[in-house]
Amino acid sequence: MISRFARKGVKYKEGSSIPPSNMTKEDVEKYARKVAGITKFATGDDPTEVVAQLGGRCKILDMSDWVEETGSIYVHREYDFDIILPRYTSPLRDRFTICHELGHFFLHSNMGEVPIVAYRQGSTRIEWEANWFAASLLMPKVEFLAALKETDDLTRIAAKFKVSCEAARVRKEAIG
């Protein structure tokens, strides 16, 4: 690993060698609600504040970093991690990405007990799990179902939860 985000001497589990939690979608949803409760994260709140509470930092990727294979999260040790965001993405996209990386922090590093580096979105089980976590954190099932009763306009629903229309569409398909 040759990234400036990695710490010397830390033995990270990387990418596909990270074991999945094998939790069900329902259990991931419950876990995300618990995290939201403990960190006082309400719908529409800024997830970077959750990151800070947990000892993490969000960093923006520079052009010079593109020459290396850069992870999307580096969990160095307990409550010490860096989330790496691409420079040119929308704030809504970033919100989802940050919550996805928090999913890795909770589900795959056990809050830093196991140092890990996860890479950009793939279609492995750990990536699905992180996506379930992000969707659950940003669009709690109960609130999302209530919003669906009020309107079927996905643009309005997406605006309410401050997510992209695509994220709202996927969530609707999963639980609607």
Which residues of the shown chain bind Zn ion in the complex (CB under 5 A)? Answer: 118, 127, 130
Across the chain, which distance is largest between two alpha carbons, in Å? 53
Rounded least distance, CB 90 to Zn ion, Å: 18
**8 Å CB contact between 102 and 50:** yes
Per the listing, tokens 């010079």 go with 64
Hunting for tokens 């033995």 — which residue is that? 11
Residue (101 or 157) nearer to Zn ion, CB: 101
Nearest CB to Zn ion, comparing residues 29 and 127: 127
Alpha helical stretches, state H, 109-151: 125-138, 141-150
Nearer to Zn ion, 18 or 157 (CB): 18
CB of 108 to Zn ion, least distance (A): 9
Q: At closest approach, how far in Å is the CB of 80 from Zn ion? A: 19
